[in-house]
Chain A
Amino acid sequence: MELMIESFPRLLNATLLTVELTLLSLFFGIFVGVFFAILRTSKSKILYYLSYYYSYVFRGTPLLVQIFIIYFGLGQVEWIRESFLWLVLKEPYSCAILAFTLNTGAYSSEIFRSAFETINKGVLEAAKGLGLNKINTFFKIKLPIAIKQSLPAYGNEMVLMLKGTSLASTVTLLDLTGVAKHIISTTFKPIEVFIVAGSIYLLMTFIIHNVIKILEKKYNY
């Protein structure tokens, strides 16, 4: 119990990095996701398959493997270390963001794709009838409907991403899990420390859950 109280401030401090990793990855991931979701509706076979295989590979392999390949794998290749890519890949922080973004981007693209597909043809014809051009149709009609449709599934993805950031500790980052492990390494008491860390994750999940609930209400028409 004493250890739980003692470790709490340090864990809370580390939560900042966890939140940062989660929000940044989700932010970049939305753009990646929308981009590849649009490619999936493309008539070009190349663009379609590019998007298809991107999501296939990143959803079909464990996040841990992805972050290891990006961090330890690419770090072994000499020409990468000598190129401008090393600016991004040298730091564990940017490697983690890159891996998380590509991973959540793949899942998001599937969520957004299916949301776009649910849009009723009649709605689009009505938009055409009203004389809206393609860009206006996309931003005024398609996107709001897609957002509403994808909210429940996307909320799920946010929670998964939050928990996924715990893998940042495997590439030397001191996020919530990283600091928890660090405390355990000197106290040898995993149960107490992980209970505190787990509760903090649970609290964050609770917050995400409620934000999504509010948004769902807002977009309910």
Chain B
Amino acid sequence: MKNIFKLFLSSIAALMIMFSNAQSDSIRIGTEGAYPPWNSKDASGNLIGFEVELAKELCAIMKHDCTIVEQDWDGMIPGLIMRKFDAIMAGMSITDERLKTINFSRGYADEVASLGVMKGSSLEGMDTPESINLSKGNSKVLKTLTAALAGKTVGVQTATIHQNFLESGDVGKINIRTYKTQDEVNLDLVAGRIDVALAAAVAFTDYAEKSGKPVVLVGPTFAGGAFGNGVGVGIRKDDTKLLKDFNRAIKTASKKGIISKLAIKHFGFDASM
């Protein structure tokens, strides 16, 4: 009995040493790894994408060691607050709602949202301008959208600006289904369980290109308002030094054209800001 007790104690001690080693001085950057082309994983499970490469560049500028940590999207902000990592680079738009809980660096890339449907959908050919900014008055476009989306089932990833917009009532009361990842949204769009989905425009075009499925964009692209002001690095409110470091690094990277180059490589156009 005594021996078993000793074994128990020593295994606890061993576990504690293991966990304490896992904590190091390097900056841990959380990303989802499931939102291509922003961030995703290759066939062998390595994190890849625009933000993974940008994170490495920014860390090089800051002369910091960095480790990139994978985190499910719906636990991203709680994970940051609970210090599982120190910064978020996961296609996360800077919104007023999130700013209540965490800080954001200056934006490093613009994200425009769009509706995606399967080719042949009744929503194709919707009569709207190419893009709208929700910070300005757009009541006419929103009315067109409300009429078009009435009775439709809309899929969206949970805890996103896209979900917030759909639930805001700007496009009326619609049937919303929320998914854990954008991959699942795409799967159900193809399966026909949802009529239309809302996400970053590049999330649809990237999926259409890679899967060969006829997913197309309809309606206007959205920016401003609930869609926030670009994508930035999420940082804890009390971590002001890290915020300064990231701001400076982003400024430098932007000046040197590093962000533009990476954006063109991953998005096909210059999404830097």
Residues of A within 8 A of B (CB): 72, 75-76, 81, 90-92, 170, 172, 181-182, 184-186, 188-190
Contacts and interface: CB of A to CB of B under 8 A. Distances in A.
Given A75-B187, A75-B191, A181 B177 contact: no
Contacts of B75: 190
A76 B158 contact: no
Contact of B159 (A90, A92, A172, A185): A185
B192 interface: yes
Contact of A184 (B78, B177, B180, B190): B78
Which range contains the number of B residues in contact with the other chain?
Answer: 20 to 34
A91, A170, A172, A189: which has the most chain B beta carbons within 10 Å? A172
A190 B77 CA distance: 10
Contact of B192 (A81, A172, A186, A189): A81
B184 A72 contact: yes
B32 to A, nearest CB: 14
B248 to A, nearest CB: 27
Interface in B59-108: 74-75, 77-78, 81, 97, 101
The 10 A-B residue pairs whose C-beta atoms are closest, nearest first, are A185-B159, A75-B191, A172-B177, A188-B77, A188-B101, A190-B78, A185-B158, A72-B187, A188-B78, A185-B74
B207 interface: no
Contacts of A92: 177, 193
A91 B188 CA distance: 11
A190 B74 CA distance: 10
A172 B179 contact: yes
A174 to B, nearest CB: 8
B74 A75 contact: no
Contacts, number: 44
Interface of B: 74-75, 77-78, 81, 97, 101, 155, 158-159, 163-164, 177-180, 184, 187-188, 190-193
Nearest to A90: B193
A172 B158 CA distance: 10
A186 B158 CA distance: 10
Which of A75, A91, A185 has the most chain B CB within a 10 Å cutoff? A185
Nearest to A174: B178
Interface centre among B74, B77, B101, B191 (most CB of A within 10 A): B191
Nearest to B153: A172
Given A76-B191, A90-B193, A181-B158, A172 B97 contact: no
A138 B191 CA distance: 46
A87 to B, nearest CB: 12
Contacts of B177: 92, 172
Given A81-B192, A181-B158, A188 B81 contact: yes
A190 B158 CA distance: 14
Contacts of B164: 186
A81 B192 CA distance: 9
Nearest to A68: B184
Contacts of A189: 78
